[in-house]
Chains A and B, each alone.
Chain A
Amino acid sequence: MTAHRDDTGRGVGVVAGLDSPAPADPRQVGRELAASGTILRIDGLRTYFHTDESVVKAVDGVSLDVPRGRTICVVGESGCGKSITARSVLGLVDAPGRIEAGHLWWHPDPEAPAVDLAALDPHGAEIRQVRGGQIGMVFQEPMASLSPMYSIGDQLVQAIRLHRPVSAAEAKELAIAQLARVGIPQPERRFDSYSFQLSGGMCQRVMIAIALSCDPALLIADEPTTALDVTTQARILDLIAQLQDETGMSVMFITHDLGVVAEIADDVTVMYLGTVAEQGSVTDIFDRPEHPYTRALLESVPTLGQARSERLAAIAGMVPSPDDRPTGCPFHTRCPSVMPGLCDVTPPAVRQVGDRHEAACHLHDPDVERPPVPAAPAPNTATLTGAEDRSPAVAPDEAEPLLSVRGLRMTFPVKKGFFGRTVGHVQAVDDVDLDIRPGETLGLVGESGCGKTTLGRCIARALDPTAGTIRYRDPRGGAEVDLAQLEANQLRPYREHIRVIFQDPFGSLNPRKTLLQLIAEPLRHIRSERVDSSIEDRVAAMLRRVGLRPEFMRRYPHAFSGGQRQRINIARALITNPRLVIADEAVSALDVSIRAQILNLLSDLQDEYQLTYLFISHDLSVVEHICDRVAVMYLGRIVEQAETEEVFQRPGHPYTEALLSAVPVPDPHLRGAGRRIRLADDLPDPANPPSGCPFHTRCPHRRAERCADERPLLQLSPTGSSEHLAACHYADELSLAGVADPLS
């Protein structure tokens, strides 16, 4: 990809100090770029943020080439500088950020000289020609990226007329055509809609329509699908690929999701702490990763279809803050192959490690006497608990359920107007039956808004369910009780049996309390214990158990990172020695490497304390990795429920099939494998759910009879085992596809 760079002696790590690389001749660069088929060359880019206290080097010497007509993915964890790199290209870095050094050689026309975008005035007319006209950009939050004050049609027309000399009427026609092109139904009507009337997926389509309205040569997409559901993500990725086929544009795609990378990338750049760790073709990166960080990243991601018993390889520690960057190789603090005296002193140079494949690591330095690379590159893969122990402690069929939910409903009134009249109801949880068995991990999956969190909160009795029963039997003895009927006081003893780990590691810990206060709170209030040294001892032991130091007890949550806070949350949940732990998207807010640490911790704790988990998540790969059984929710109802393998290999409901097919698999060789099922973007209005089968409005297998007017019940699916339930009229007739087997 960037062989020339070694010829000229320039490279990522070699650039010393802050001075820009030697001034280059645009024509010369233009010829080079034309020869290598490159449309944009980022060369030694440094973007720094100057604050009163310090200089944050968000991007610190990044070089990469965007190939003409192809897709490059820039991948990395949060804070690695990938978004700032993308914004720097168009001069969109907000104050106090500034491009300090480097070139951004932009070369849309192979015949013309290259243009250095970094040298243009960020407020000038030249860069404005490039923005929108030659390079289009889409952002992470589609809803917030559209102005609420103008209709989407107005905004699209404006974008068209900025770069094309057309009349208002012509522009409107073009705009409607553009809306149709990005797959917006009824574009004439949608033209007058506002962003807040559309779903996130629709808004992202509008953003793409705007970005592509003037046929740019390059589309920069900055995490465009991160805020969207997996089904919507799949459709947006398809759309970008299809538009790329039509127009031959290049795509620079910023993401943290290796599955997405495997799905769409031609080339990949892996970033770490503002520098490039490794770059190469997508097969090189996935098959022959040469940088320890890339390897660790790949291993820390659970893959659909991967054997469940495997422990994830977590990367030790966490990404250091960019204003406290380690000396030497930025990754040396977490690297399993670190060579003391070298990695922590000298930044590694970028070296060729294959054809168009380079990595910035001292391991590839020919002059370095290197220690043998550990066979397993990740340090913590020691399987401390055997894989066989991961099966439920009690055989599923014989055991009485720990918790048995029947006919559970949770209805929220919709209020409106001056006196808060109730104008309607949302059935967030609609007649749910669910059994949780002792010792198992039950996964609860579904798109956002399907009611999975509400169901979890009803079971924890954080909410008072409208109807139904929640029968609970303490496995360590005790009579069966209906939690749904208990008053606050009667409920108190059960609060220590059922505990919740929340999603948001920041919002779920009161910042004004110390760890001791937070973790001891359930002991003090549920058991009315006094704070004495015995409580302190228990908190200390629990902190140690979740991987934090006991002396952190007197600290406040603000001193901890997201992953560490999630450990605190786990400690607080487990301090009462609970039976059931409801983990509500407990790892969704975390970066992949941290996520693996927490998932491993949850597994270990389950074995140690014989815990039962209700694991609520939208991430199917994580659910497949950690769960024994899975329940799939749609519009407040459970549509399928079975053992994990059943659900993933032989789904019994079309919705499950669609969900599975939408999950990107982090293996470029499986691209396009399996059935591609794409659901319409919009979830029906939960206040006005469809009649009959709630899924019939989006179901690809919908039939004329029954689906629209008869509500299907959860029943045994004849395709699978005796435990496989699905709510579909035609479950026994359909042959639905599961996850593609990676071995086949």
Chain B
Amino acid sequence: MTQQLPPAGPAAEPAVQDVAPAAVSVASQWRLMWWRFRKHKLALAGLVVTATLYLVAVFAGFLAPYDSSHLDPEYTYAPPQRLHVVDTSDGWDWGLYVNGYTAEQDPETLEIRFEVDEDTKVPVELFARGPSYTLFGLIETNIHVIGPADPDGPPMYLLGADRLGRDQLSRIIHGTRVSMSVGLVGVAVAFVLGVTLGGVSGYLGGKVDTVIQRMVEFFMSLPTLPLWLGLAAAVPTDWGPLARYFMITVVLSFVAWTSLAREVRGRFLSLREEDFVMAAKLDGVGRRAIIFSHMLPSFTSHLIATLTLSIPAMILAETALSFLGLGLQPPVVSWGVLLQEAQQIRVISTAPWLLLPGLAVVVAVLSLNFMGDGLRDAADPYRR
């Protein structure tokens, strides 16, 4: 085995053997991480679902049959319709349609009850014309992936309608935008705060470190939810939706940055002791280059995992705040805002589909958690 090797200098020891296959040998950290992550089936599923959700958020206008404010008071609490793919009413044939409704008024309570009418058909088509919207904020169009063939005819409620006859499906799809982005923006704010303060604390050490650590400890000792509530309530009600949205994310990140700062500081402290950092110092690498080319790359993967895992908490918090009416306010649509409709048990028992935005929350949070766990496990591919 060793004889085949080229002679390696006068005093060469034939010690060279390949310990790893070539592909592994030249694989960078991110490739190794991906290989490890890939083995984690749940995490992979989480990644797919999360990616899908963000795609839905981007293409919300195209995917939703209606826009978020479309209402039709004639169809209060209309139940979900089943989408038929095959038309058997007249022999066997392909054909997309939903059944229409029959409305009945309760003689005593005057409540209107809808029944799905098996006999009427509302034709549905793919790439239907509907309300116009702008894709990516640039392209104005009115094509939706699915919608009733006749935009002025009877409406289509695949997931039912709410108190004002608004389409749940469209509103959940539109809500994806705010709900999923609140986490991202909040985490971004927390990231800036956490990494800066944690990095300063961990790298400088000494008095600065002590002060920042006490600060972090103080913030961690505050009760999260009441603080959120208090701060959210203090956001003036007359602010525009955008300003309010931004303030809420700031409020949310107010709590999240502390754990990030701790993580960053801990990593910095342990990395400072690592031999390879010492070696880089002795190689003449300057302070800034050590931080940016040796230390930061060593924990960016951990940081990404931690960030991913803190997004779900933000989504849950936004949902709770909005549900209580302290977070985002209509006409902004988020899953929490949608759930405001479902505060009464009586309402829920008439229209259980009003809880569906909650299901969206659970799915989003679950998949982000799975993905984050997988990332965390894969974050250090060099662990021995």
Contact = CB atoms under 8 A, between A and B. Distances in A.
Q: Do A and B associate with each other?
A: yes
Interface of A: 314, 316-318, 321, 333, 379-380, 384-385, 419-420, 457, 460, 462, 492, 495-496, 499-500, 502-504, 506-512, 514, 521-522, 525-526, 544-545, 547-549, 552, 554-556, 558-561, 563-564, 567, 572, 594, 597, 600-601, 604
B298 A510 contact: yes
Contact of B11 (A462, A511, A526, A604): A604
B282 A547 contact: no
A419 B283 CA distance: 34
Nearest to A320: B17
A384 B10 contact: yes
Contacts of A514: 26
B137 interface: no
Interface in B101-143: none
Interface residues of B, number: 45
A356 B84 CA distance: 85
B275 A547 contact: no
Given A317-B2, A547-B8, A558 B20 contact: yes
A318 B274 contact: no
A507 B271 CA distance: 10
Given A495-B283, A521-B280, A558-B32, A502 B275 contact: yes
Given A508-B276, A564-B19, 5 more contacts: A384-B10, A512-B29, A547-B12, A549-B16, A556-B29
Shortest 3 CB-CB contacts between residues of A and residues of B: A559-B25, A526-B284, A508-B275
B283 A522 contact: yes
A564 B15 contact: yes
Given A561-B19, A563-B15, A512 B282 contact: no
Contact of A502 (B6, B15, B26, B278): B278
Contact of A544 (B9, B15, B19, B276): B9
Contacts of B274: 507
Nearest to A519: B283
Contacts of B15: 314, 316-318, 547, 563-564, 567, 594, 597
A522 B29 contact: no
B55 interface: no
Contacts of A333: 1
A600 B9 CA distance: 14
Interface in B1-59: 1-2, 5-6, 8-20, 24-29, 32
B384 A506 contact: yes
B13 A525 contact: no
Contacts of B25: 552, 555-556, 558-559
B16 A521 contact: no
B177 to A, nearest CB: 36
B286 interface: yes
Nearest to A557: B382
A601 B11 contact: yes
A385 B10 CA distance: 10
B345 to A, nearest CB: 48
Contacts of B18: 559
Nearest to A543: B8
Contacts of B9: 544-545, 547
Residue among B2, B28, B280, B283 with max Cβ neighbours from chain A (10 Å): B283
A511 B284 contact: no
Interface in B243-283: 274-276, 278-283
A492 B13 contact: no
B275 A316 contact: no
A321 B26 contact: no
Contacts of A511: 29, 382
B297 A499 contact: no
B28 A507 contact: no
A601 B294 CA distance: 29
A53 to B, nearest CB: 10
B210 interface: yes
Nearest to A311: B11
B289 interface: yes
A441 to B, nearest CB: 17
Interface of B: 1-2, 5-6, 8-20, 24-29, 32, 206, 210, 274-276, 278-286, 289, 294, 297-298, 381-382, 384
B151 to A, nearest CB: 54
B29 A462 contact: no
A521 B290 CA distance: 11
Nearest to A496: B284
Nearest to A501: B279
Residue among B29, B276, B298 with max Cβ neighbours from chain A (10 Å): B276
B320 to A, nearest CB: 35
A512 B298 contact: yes
B188 to A, nearest CB: 24
Nearest to B5: A549
A321 B19 contact: yes
B14 A507 contact: no
A514 B29 CA distance: 11
B276 A500 contact: no
A460 B282 contact: yes
B128 to A, nearest CB: 48
Contacts of B32: 558
Contacts of A507: 274-276
A740 B32 CA distance: 53
A500 B275 CA distance: 11
A307 B69 CA distance: 92
A492 B294 CA distance: 19
Nearest to A314: B13
Nearest to A582: B282
B19 A560 contact: yes
A376 to B, nearest CB: 15
Nearest to A338: B1
A601 B13 contact: yes
Contacts of A508: 275-276, 278-279
Contacts of A549: 5-6, 8, 16
A317 B4 CA distance: 13
15 contacts: A317-B14, A379-B14, A506-B384, A509-B276, A511-B382, A514-B26, A525-B284, A525-B286, A554-B26, A556-B25, A556-B26, A558-B24, A559-B18, A559-B25, A564-B16
Given A508-B275, A521-B280, A555 B26 contact: yes
Nearest to A520: B283
A492 B284 CA distance: 6
A560 B17 CA distance: 9
Contacts of A558: 20, 24-25, 32, 381-382
Contacts of A506: 384
Contacts of B5: 549
Contacts of A597: 13, 15
Contacts of A420: 206, 210
B279 A600 contact: no
Nearest to B2: A316
Nearest to B24: A559
A597 B11 CA distance: 11
A676 B1 CA distance: 46
Contacts of A552: 25
Contact of A317 (B12, B17, B278, B282): B17
Contacts of B19: 318, 321, 559-561, 564
Contacts of A544: 8-9
Nearest to B205: A420
A545 B9 CA distance: 6
Contact of B13 (A419, A496, A503, A547): A547
B332 to A, nearest CB: 43
A510 B276 contact: yes
A510 B280 contact: yes
A521 B285 contact: yes
A420 B206 CA distance: 8
A332 to B, nearest CB: 9
A604 B11 CA distance: 7
Residue among B13, B206, B280, B286 with max Cβ neighbours from chain A (10 Å): B13
A600 B15 CA distance: 12
A462 B278 CA distance: 7
A525 B275 CA distance: 18
